[in-house]
Structure 1
Amino acid sequence: MGARGELFTTQIVLENRSYFFNVKENRTGDVFLQIVESKNKNGEAFDRHQIAVFAEDMQKYLQGFESALSFIQKHEKEKQKLDAQKKQAKKAVYRSKAKEADTPKASGARVDSAQVKRTGRVHVVSKRKKDD
């Protein structure tokens, strides 16, 4: 047995956080899982949070964890589906505007200002007739 009753430990390092999964045994012989999150605070100190799950509660803990995980996975799939639908809708709108722009206009017909692409540049055309 290691220092402070540690039986097993593993670490997961992410960008600005580290997670430690420690299996420990207390003085009375009870085995528990200690999960520690350590977050770097501006390079000066670490913000630590921990929970302990005892062996007799582990199955209930895992059931709750798995149900939360399945909800997250389901939510992500729905989000991806909605994003794909939005992308398809944008493409459809773009295609319909492109088709409208390709149709020939009758001479002298006014152009709808919603279809004119605004670039911020000014183009001046003289209406004077040139003398030959």
Structure 2
Amino acid sequence: MGARGELFTTQIVLENRSYFFNVKENRTGDIFLQIVESKNKNGESFDRLQIAVFAEDMQKYLQGFENALAFIHKYEKEKQKLDAQKKQAKKAVYRSKAKDTDGSKESPAQNSPPEVKRTGRVHIVSKRK
């Protein structure tokens, strides 16, 4: 047995964080997984957060973790689909404007509400009544 009851440990290093997955055994012989996040704080110190999941609760923990992962994947796919639809709609608007070259455009003043004055490309809203 290793230091402080460690049976197994592995580390994942990211940009400013490290994750440690430690399998440990406590004094009574119970085996648990300790997950530690170590985050660099201002280059001087580290913030450490940890959770412990005991062996008898591991299946429930993994089930919750897998459900969260499935939700994230589903959410990302839906978001990509919506982004693609928005992009297609935007392209369709630009295409329809490009096709509208028959010269029958109305002046911008006719399209705008009466309280909006247009001067060149700058839009000024009059607050006077």
Which interval holds the TM-score relative to the shorter structure? Answer: 0.7 to 0.9
Which of 98, 103, 108 aligns to 1:105? It is: 103
1:70 is paired with a residue whose SS is helix
| Cα shift readout 1:50-83 (whole Å, capped 9, x = no counterpart) | 0000001101111111111111111111111101
**Structure-to-structure mapping, 1:29-40, within 5 angstroms:** 29-40=29-40
Structure with the greater alpha carbon radius of gyration: 1
Aligned to 1:25: 25
Match of 1:77 in 2: 77
Distance across 2 between alignment mates of 1:76 and 1:65: 17
**Counterpart secondary structure, 1:60:** helix
Gaps of 5+ in 2: 112-119, 123-129
Misfit runs of 4+, over 3 Å = 109-114
Instruction: Name the counterpart of 1:58.
Output: 58
User: Share of identical aligned residues, percent?
Assistant: 82
Please report the TM-score for the alignment, with normalisation by the length of structure 2.
0.79
> Counterparts of 1:97 and 1:110 in 2: how far apart (Å)?
13
**How big is the alpha-carbon RMSD for the aligned residues of Structure 1 and Structure 2?**
2.0
Amino acid at match of 1:98: A
Cα distance in 1 for partners of 2:4, 2:57 equals 22
Partner of 1:14: 14
Structure 1 unaligned segments of length 5 or more: list them: 121-132
Q: Which has the higher strand share?
A: 2
